[in-house]
Amino acid sequence: MIHNDFYTQENHGPYEFYSLGNFTLEEGGTIPDCQLAYRTLGNLNERKDNVIVIPTWYSGTSKDLEAYIGEDRALNPEKYFIIIINQIGNGLSSSPHNSPEPISMSNFPHVRISDDVRAQHQMVIEKYGISEIALVVGGSMGAQQTYEWAVRYPDMVKRAAPIAGTAKNTDHDFLFTQTLMDAITSDPGFNEGKYTSSTEVAGGLQRHADIWSVMGLSTEFYKQEKWRLFGVESLEEFTKGFLQPLFQAMDPNALLTMAWKWQRGDVSRLTNGDLKKALGGVKAKVFVMPINEDMFFPPRDCEEEQKMIPNSELRMINSICGHFGLFGAEGPDFHDQVDKHLHDLLNAFV
C-alpha cells in the first residue's frame, strides 16, 4: 500500500464505504474485504422504486458526477434516490494502491466490468433492499457498466442511458486504450508496478495525458481554441497546466486496472459471444446517447448497437469537446441536452 493525497475526502468527498466482504472476480482472483466508495443524494421512497444508479467513468470519481445532479436537473435528488458508485480500481473503492497484501500494487487482480456491476448489485440489495432501479445512467466506462446492468439484470433495470460508450468494446478502442497503458508501463520509474509514489512515473503519466489531449477532444476543439472553456488562456496551459498535472496526480496502477477492464467491456460474454442476443434481451427503455464529435466511441458504433435493443432510441449529444464533453465545460450547452434526454426517458412509461 502507498498513500496518495489525490484520493481524499478533501478532493473527492463526501463519500462513504460499503464492504462486500471477500469478493470473487470472474478472472479467478479475490479482493478481500472489497470496499465500494459511494455517494448518495436524495431519499429512498417507501416503495423503493425511485432509485437512480450512476457508475463512474475512467479516472473519474463520484465527485465528477455531482455536476449532473440538482433540483433543476433531470437527476433531481428531491424526487429520486441517487447512488453514485465508484468502480473498483478507481482510487477510492478497493484499488491497487489502497489494498493490503497479497493484492497490493502490481499484485491487484484483473477486474472486469461485469465484476463492477455484480458488486454494485450486491451493494444495493444488501444495504437498501432495492429490487427495482428506475434508471441506470453513466458516461464512457460508466456507459459500459450501464449496458452490463441492463443485460445482466433485465427485470430490475427499468430504464438505461449509456452516454458516450458501447456495450462491446471495439478493436480500434482496444488499441487506443493499449497506447494509454503503454505510456505508463514504458516509464522506467513504473518498475513493474512497484513504485513507491506516483511521482516516480511522472513521465509516463505525462505521455498518458498527451494521448488524451489528442483523442479525448475533437479537431474543431483546437481549431476554435475551445480549450478556453477549461479556464485556461493558451494551448500550452491546457496541456501542460491542466491535463498533465491532472493525470500525474493519479495512481498508475489504478489507471491500468481500469484500462484493462475498459478494453474488455463486452456484454455478449453473457450470451456466448452473441451481441445481438445479449442486447435483444434488454427489457429496459433505453436511450443510447453518443457524443457527435467523440473519436473513440463514435456515433456510428453506438447506433449499430442501439438498433439491436428492442425498446430503444438514439439520442445524440452535440459537443465540440468530443469525449471530454462529459466534463461539462460547455456548461448549459451540454447539460441542457443531457437533461432533456433524461427527462424524456424518466417520464417514459415502462
Catalytic center residues: 140, 294, 323
Residue position matching grid coordinates 491535463: 243
Helices marked H in 281-349: 299-306, 332-346
**Residue 185 near residue 256, CB atoms below 8 Å:** yes
Max intra-chain CA distance, the chain: 55
- Region of 33 please: left (phi>0), alpha (psi -120 to 50) or beta: left
How far is CA 160 from its chain centroid? Answer: 14
Other Cβ atoms less than 10 A from the Cβ of 197: the count is 13
Within 13 Å of residue 143, how many CA atoms lie on the same side as its CB?
Answer: 23
Residue spans of beta strands (DSSP E) within 216-273 = none
Judge if the upstream peptide bond of residue 102 is cis by omega within 30 degrees of 0: yes
Q: And the C-alpha cell for 35?
A: 470496499
38 touches 119 (CB < 8 A): no
